[in-house]
Structure 1
Amino acid sequence: MKRTVIIDALKRTDFGTDVNIKGWVRTRRGNKSVSFIALNDGSTINNIQIVVDNEKFGDEYLKPITTGACISVVGKLVESMGKGQTVEVQADEIEIYGTADPDTYPLQKKGHTLEFLREIAHLRPRTNTFGAVYRVRHHMAMAIHRFFHERGFFYVHTPIITGSDCEGAGQMFQVTTLNLKNPPKDDLGCIDYSEDFFGKETSLTVSGQLEGELAAMALGAIYTFGPTFRAENSNTPRHLAEFWMIEPEVAFNEIEENMQLAQDFIQYCIRWALDNCKDDLEFLSKMYDEELLERLNFVIANDFVRLTYTEGIKILEEAIAKGQKFEFPVSWGTDLQSEHERYLVEKHFKKPVILTDYPKEIKSFYMKQNDDGKTVRAMDVLFPKIGEIIGGSQREENLEKLQQRAEEMGVPHKDIWWYLDTRRFGTAPHSGFGLGFERLLLFVTGMTNIRDVIPFPRTPNNADF
């Protein structure tokens, strides 16, 4: 008999029909004559109840059916008389695929801390929490692709292995086939990368932006969606060494269009989650964040506040003068910390904020310079509970200014000659931004640690599973 997934079975009303349900046992309870098995196959947060006549199967056969076991059930779909479900299955046949020893299976019916579940990341998807998070993650990926496809963007796959450092930070994971115990050396005693696989020093990418710009200058509007890597020793609830980035780049867009695209994009994704992940979001709201649904609805119902970095600094300085305490200092020219960003969003405006026109000294070489000679057309989208969720800018299209800024920031021309060519041959105004996928998921799910919105987190001293 063809299997019926539980999410579909729970919607059916053709009572009396034989169905085949397969899944993992969440709980089994009952008495000597009847057992009630809560079965889940991952298709929904909701379980389906299997009603079992114990005499029909025998105690010895049913004994291995405990929490964590995997079974296949053939039976009749009937209307449920109990609370909490509309349908259930009266079992006629049960096949046991796999058992789970109650003495060793770690996911028994009790509360588990998120810290403990990170230690068993291979099993945590079977919990309600992580089943919900991963289903939301899937829907967010679908929303991203649909948003851009509906607007005529083209999906471009940018390299994971690169010879350039987009951010100029230098904190990258090196990629090599050289013998690390005895690498080849040149005449100066330095490692001779000409003998490496690519004939040069290469690393895992921190961003697909530069290559994305190349595509935008031919296709008009593109986006990337792929893994990126940062070798920062940041062991915080907001940082990962491996994470996913969405990076649109649009020819002829200036900073104003870029800000509007960012707002439309995030609101679309959140609306998609509310429309398609109702049960999972309600569960996460109940378990972790009572204000989650209210906050999501608020974001899609309101325009984002737009103000300059200079205006933002003034607001923060005025708050300090009135007694507001911050761990990190505030002054014009310093990069804002998460506590500053969240103050602007959560306390001052009580809305998402797009901050623009940052000092050029704290931003990357490729951002378009303003006429004041001090600031660049950068933009950061700031969200409640998260801080920065999007970072972007209008890109510098003037070849001389871009070359000069690259020199000032120590970016060798030999590493970006191909990038400079787009300003040399048919340059045009263009803009783009990057959204950290996991930070979006933090906001949408209400989870508080970024390790809990990616299946297998990579952090300092942790590359398990």
Structure 2
Amino acid sequence: MQRTLIRNVLCSRDFGSQHTVAGWVRTRRDSKGGFSFLELNDGSCLSNLQILAGAGLPNYKTEILRLHPGASIKVQGKLVASPAAGQPVELQADSITVLGFCDPLEYPLGKSRISFERLREVAHLRARTNTFGAVARVRNTLAYATHRFFQERDFYYFNAPIITASDCEGAGEMFQVTTLNLENPPRDPERKCIDFKQDFFGKAANLTVSGQLEAETYACALGSVYTFGPTFRAENSNTTRHLAEFWMIEPEIAFADLNDDADLAEDYLRFLFQAVLQERQEDLQFFNDRIEKGLLENLSRLAQAEFTRISYTEAIAILEKNADQFELKPHWGADLQSEHERFLAEKMFKGPVIVMNYPKEIKAFYMRLNDDEKTVAAMDVLLPNVGEIIGGSQREERLEVLERRIRETGMDPADYWWYCDLRRFGSVPHAGFGLGFERMVRFCTGMTNIRDVIPFPRTPQSADF
């Protein structure tokens, strides 16, 4: 079907021009004068297009008066100036074709306000609401801006595997992939455990928690790469900040140190904020008015902000001086909690902060050991209202140090032979970071629950749709 998007019709002032539009009815108002007003939305923008449906239409009584919210229609008509305030144009219908009726008694998205909790139960329909349609458009803009940012800087898009036998984080909280008979799995008589040699891959396999290790292999051949794909964590966390399935952006850059990594993270975040401000003004205004007051001001400030860089040791010293403000007391050697991160970004520096050089005991094996042998070249980027948004590091490029760090975390370097090969054959300094995409969408929309910024959230005891 050849049609004009409603967002383009609303921008047109070519009165008298003919247009075909299609979408879903939001409301129908009948006039005593013998015509009806239909509010139509096709998802291309937040605003609806008003359709003037006259009683002279051949299907006015038989079909138009049976239209309710959720019904789908195609309209052919003439663009005219609207006499109503707040809507410069409307479409005077020459014909209306009903594509699908919608029973108002069955349709869960009526005129009444519906809670976000209820909308999660009908996630297959919630994108038709103002809020979730706007979330989807912001998400799309941030995704496209991500690809644009890295492509313009000569990065290659790398497709990391979803199924892996490696645990990047060393945390063990992974979803297992198996074709074994779960009721009677084969056993290894000597080790007295499940014999994964008989499984599909000949070894235990899992859904990936990160594409970083694999991305490093291509960065050490092509120079700069980035991943953008789903990752999985089997954490039994029922919070507003955690998902079992989420999307990650993970760039890896060769011939780079921690400062280069921080520079890239700063530029990337500014680029995302600028893109969403330029391209999603109407949706952001909606979020600013309905979800989080001050959102637009915050995003505008961050789009031009300078990032403060401090060491972990400096951060702990600041936090210890203000320890009475925290439920969990900070001390050197402990990871920063969300309340600590937000204090640094919101109260201490009143802007984005990059904390660098963390104790090695609280960071992953692949992070480069600093000369003090106590800290690693790691960084976390902190934003006001959210805390950590990016985590990254310079990667350990020295083979003997990497193997030692793997052993210290209770793993076997032999399981990471291919990863160690990068250090055996032409090793180079390299660095990278990871950004949880849903956390960025949540930040840019002001939505309070991360389950509301991904189409179909996967959480403990929930894998519907």
| TM-score range for the pair, normalised by the shorter chain length | over 0.9
Given that residues 240 and 448 in structure 2 are in contact (C-alpha distance below 8 angstroms), is that contact kept between their aligned partners in structure 1? yes
| Percentage identity across paired residues of the two chains | 58
Query: For 1:64 and 1:275, how far apart are their aligned partners in 2?
Result: 40
Query: For 2:86 and 2:286, how far apart are their aligned partners in 1?
Result: 14
TM-score, normalised with respect to structure 2: 0.97
Q: 2:65 aligns with which of 63, 72, 79?
A: 63
* Correspondence for 2:388: 388
The one-character-per-residue Cα deviations of 1:160-196 (angstroms, maximum 9, x if unpaired) are 1000100000000000111111111122332111111
* Correspondence for 1:103: 105
Query: For 2:139 and 2:337, how far apart are their aligned partners in 1?
Result: 27
* Correspondence for 1:13: 13
Query: For 2:53 and 2:212, how far apart are their aligned partners in 1?
Result: 57
Q: Aligned-pair distance for 1:80?
A: 1.2
Map 1:256-271; keep pairs closer than 5 Å: 256-271=259-274
* Correspondence for 2:183: 181
Q: Aligned-pair distance for 1:206?
A: 0.3
**SS of the counterpart of 1:26?**
strand
Q: Compare 93-102 and 236-245 and name the one that shifted more.
A: 93-102
Amino acid at match of 1:406: I
Q: 1:219 aligns with which of 218, 222, 226?
A: 222
* Correspondence for 2:39: 38
TM-score, normalised with respect to structure 1: 0.97
Given that residues 6 and 41 in structure 2 are in contact (C-alpha distance below 8 angstroms), is that contact kept between their aligned partners in structure 1? yes
* Correspondence for 1:143: 145
Query: For 1:113 and 1:384, how far apart are their aligned partners in 2?
Result: 27
Query: For 2:373 and 2:237, how far apart are their aligned partners in 1?
Result: 33
Q: Compare 25-34 and 294-303 and name the one that shifted more.
A: 25-34
* Correspondence for 1:84: 86
Q: 2:308 aligns with which of 300, 305, 308?
A: 305
Q: Aligned-pair distance for 1:55?
A: 4.9
**SS of the counterpart of 1:442?**
helix
Amino acid at match of 1:413: P
* Correspondence for 2:136: 134
Given that residues 252 and 433 in structure 2 are in contact (C-alpha distance below 8 angstroms), is that contact kept between their aligned partners in structure 1? yes
Question: What CA RMSD, in Å, does the superposition of the two structures yield over aligned residues?
Answer: 1.1
Query: For 2:130 and 2:154, how far apart are their aligned partners in 1?
Result: 37
Unaligned runs of 5+ in 1: none
Q: 1:209 aligns with which of 204, 212, 219?
A: 212
Task: State yes or no: 1:360 paired with 2:363.
Answer: no
Query: For 1:152 and 1:18, how far apart are their aligned partners in 2?
Result: 44
Unaligned runs of 5+ in 2: none
* Correspondence for 2:115: 113
* Correspondence for 1:369: 369
Given that residues 29 and 36 in structure 2 are in contact (C-alpha distance below 8 angstroms), is that contact kept between their aligned partners in structure 1? yes
Query: For 2:217 and 2:353, how far apart are their aligned partners in 1?
Result: 29
* Correspondence for 2:3: 3
Query: For 1:202 and 1:398, how far apart are their aligned partners in 2?
Result: 28
* Correspondence for 1:438: 438
Q: 1:157 aligns with which of 156, 159, 164?
A: 159
Task: State yes or no: 1:296 paired with 2:333.
Answer: no
Amino acid at match of 2:37: F
Q: Compare 180-189 and 337-346 and name the one that shifted more.
A: 180-189
Task: State yes or no: 1:52 paired with 2:53.
Answer: yes
Q: Aligned-pair distance for 1:274?
A: 0.6
Task: State yes or no: 1:346 paired with 2:346.
Answer: yes
**SS of the counterpart of 2:66?**
coil
**SS of the counterpart of 1:301?**
coil
Map 1:408-423; keep pairs closer than 5 Å: 408-423=408-423
**SS of the counterpart of 1:146?**
helix
The one-character-per-residue Cα deviations of 1:357-378 (angstroms, maximum 9, x if unpaired) are 1110000001111111111110
**SS of the counterpart of 1:400?**
helix
Q: Compare 219-228 and 92-101 and name the one that shifted more.
A: 92-101
* Correspondence for 1:73: 75
Query: For 1:420 and 1:383, how far apart are their aligned partners in 2?
Result: 34
Q: Compare 202-211 and 296-305 and name the one that shifted more.
A: 296-305
**SS of the counterpart of 1:377?**
strand
* Correspondence for 1:448: 448
Amino acid at match of 2:202: G
Q: Aligned-pair distance for 1:62?
A: 2.1
Query: For 2:151 and 2:117, how far apart are their aligned partners in 1?
Result: 38
Amino acid at match of 1:223: Y
Query: For 2:161 and 2:64, how far apart are their aligned partners in 1?
Result: 53
Query: For 1:434 and 1:2, how far apart are their aligned partners in 2?
Result: 41
Moved over 6 A (4+): none
Query: For 2:195 and 2:60, how far apart are their aligned partners in 1?
Result: 71
Query: For 2:80 and 2:381, how far apart are their aligned partners in 1?
Result: 50
**SS of the counterpart of 1:235?**
coil
Query: For 2:200 and 2:66, how far apart are their aligned partners in 1?
Result: 53
